[in-house]
Amino acid sequence: MPDVHLFAPPAQLNDATRHYLASLAGVLGELGHDLTHTPDLAAIPPHANVLTLECKSAARLSLRRPQARLWQWLQGLYPEEARWQFESRLRAFAWNRLEAWTLRRSQGAVMVSQAMQQHFAVKYPQLRLDSTVMPCVNATLAPQAFRTPGKYTRPAFVYAGGLQRWQCIDAMLAAFTALHARLPEATLTLLTAEQAQAAARIRQLRTPATTVAYVPAAELPQALAAFKYGFLLREDHVVNRVATPTKVSSYMAAGVIPVMTRAAQDFAQRLSSTSPIVWLDSLDAGHIGQRVLAQESHTLDAEAVLAAYRSAFDHYLDHASYRPALRDFFLRTGLAAA
């Protein structure tokens, strides 16, 4: 089968991207194409079909292989993130130039949210870029995790992920401290590779009943089965509004109830009718505690939670449901079936 070259540094192929890329590869396979990781630009033929994961790689490809046909998977907003996270106008300016140029060069883009589509439509009103949407998901439903004995009778909280600024770790620890004062049987576990940093922060903030551990990505679904609630806190910023964090699917696939802000607009809209989810309107510790205690006042049936989350996966979080739209997208943007 002819190749579609995935031009991306090896570091970009990680636990957060592997599931998504496997879904894209499956659709491309149905069209008679192999998605082949080709990190060496010299190995990409001049007229190749190429997929990139960010505009820096897309720019390198466009400079060295101007006749190649380019598709992009847009995971985030690099210019806006540079300005927000690094407070760097220069970085933001450079990323904006690369972004605008490579989008004009692209056959089409796979985006992670409708909010992202709307962002680019407003930012580049003259741009005629075909796109389709598939949210970031890295897990499939695990019914047995919902049936873990005692899962919904004890307030065991978990956070799984890194300690980057946008994860709002301090806000989470502050909220749990306030919550523990009213719910003393509550526990919190941080599952992170950054164990030393996490332990230091817990000591600094004197967060009670909190432990730190690490599990490999392959073992995360089984580890999450032990918990009732999972934290996902985000500030209200455009970078977060267009995002669809994989943590939501990881938690829900294991029957873990997300405790999350409404910052990710597509999640707030598409999962608004899914229950139980603890929706938050701010990062205030008292507000978070109040919302969790309101949920705690309800008795949960594991099979009812499973049915609700299965519906969310069937209608939104299952990548299989996006295959027809993805096939149509690649065909109409010029990737002929082989």
- Mean pLDDT across 62-74: 97
Burial (CB count <10 Å: 0-12, 13-18, 19+), residue 203: exposed
Return the minimum-mean-pLDDT range out of 14-18, 109-113, 162-166, 313-317: 14-18
Max intra-chain CA distance, the chain:
64
Phi, psi of 291 (to 5 degrees): -65, -40
pLDDT digits (tens, 9 = 90+) for 187-240: 999 999 999 999 999 999 999 999 999 999 889 999 999 999 999 999 999 999
Question: Which residues partner with 110 through β-bridges?
Answer: 73, 132
**Phi and psi of 316, rounded to 5°?**
-145, -45
Q: Is 229 left (phi over 0), alpha (psi -120 to 50) or beta?
A: beta
**Long-range CB pairs of 29-33, under 8 A, 24+ apart, other chains included:** 29/1, 30/323, 30/327, 31/327, 31/330, 31/331, 31/335, 31/337, 31/338, 32/1, 32/2, 32/337, 32/338, 33/1, 33/2, 33/3, 33/4, 33/335, 33/338
Tokens of 216: 């490999």
Taking residues 249-259, what's their average pLDDT?
A: 98
Q: Please name every residue paired with 318 in a beta bridge, in sequence order, or none if there are none.
A: none
DSSP classification of residue 217: G
> Angle at CA 301, nearest 5°, toward 299 and 303?
165
- Strands in 153-201 per DSSP E: 156-160, 187-191
Q: In this predicted structure, what is the pLDDT of residue 82?
A: 87
Alpha-carbon distances of 13 from 6, 16, 114, 220, 243, rounded to whole Å: 10, 8, 24, 18, 18
What mean pLDDT do residues 302-306 have? 98
For 150-182, the pLDDT digits (tens) are: 999 999 999 999 999 889 999 999 999 999 999
Work out the pLDDT band at 105, boundaries 50, 70, 90: very high
Q: Please tell me the distance from the alpha carbon of residue 140 to that of residue 334, in angstroms, as a whole number.
A: 31
pLDDT tier for residue 261 given thresholds of 50, 70 and 90: very high
DSSP 11: G
List, in sequence order, the alpha helices (H) in 31-184.
55-64, 78-85, 89-105, 114-123, 143-146, 169-182
Mean of pLDDT values over 298-305? 97
16: amino acid identity, one letter? A
pLDDT, greater one: 133 or 90 = 133
User: Residue 255 in contact with residue 309, Cβ under 8 Å?
Assistant: yes
What DSSP designation does 310 have? Answer: H
Model confidence at 1: pLDDT above 70: no
178 CB-near residues (< 8 Å, 6+ apart)? 285, 286, 288, 289
C-alpha span between 12 and 234 (Å, rounded): 23
